[in-house]
Amino acid sequence: MNGRRIIAVVVKESREILRDPITVGVSLLMPLVMLFLFGYAISLDVRHAALGVWDGDATPASRELVEAFTGNEYFRLAAHYGSLHDLEQALQRSETDLVLVIPPGFAAELARGGRPAVQVLVDGTYSATALLVSGFARAIIAGYRQQGRPQLLRLETRVWYNPSLNSANYVVPGLYAVILLAFPPLLTALGIVREKETGTIQSIFASPLTAAEFITGKLIPYSLIAFLQMVMVIAVGYAWFGVPFEGSLPFLLAAGLIYVLCTVGIGLLVSTVTRTQLVAMLLALIVTLMPSFLFSGLLFPIFTMPEILQIYTNVFPGRYFVDISRGVALKGAGLEILGFEVALLALYTLTVFLLAVWRLKKKVA
Give me the least distance between CB of 361 and other proteins, in Å please.
9
The residues, ordered by sequence, that sit 6+ positions from 36 with a Cβ below 8 Å of its Cβ are 236
Q: How far is CA 195 from CA 68, 189, 203, 283, in A?
A: 67, 11, 10, 17
Amino acid symbol at 94: S
Q: In what order do the strands lie in the sheet with 75-80?
A: 75-80, 49-55, 98-102, 119-122
Name the site residues for other proteins (rule: CB under 8 A).
2, 4-5, 7-9, 11-12, 15-16, 19-20, 198-200, 202-210, 362-365
Whether the Cβ atoms of residue 115 and residue 142 lie closer than 8 Å to each other: no
Give me the least distance between CB of 219 and other proteins, in Å please.
16
- Of 114, 353, 322, which is closest to residue 217 (Cα–Cα)? 353
CA-to-CA distance for 263 and 188, rounded, in angstroms? 9
The residues, ordered by sequence, that sit 6+ positions from 244 with a Cβ below 8 Å of its Cβ are 169, 329, 330
- Residue among 21 and 301 whose Cβ is closer to other proteins: 21
Give me the least distance between CB of 193 and other proteins, in Å please.
15
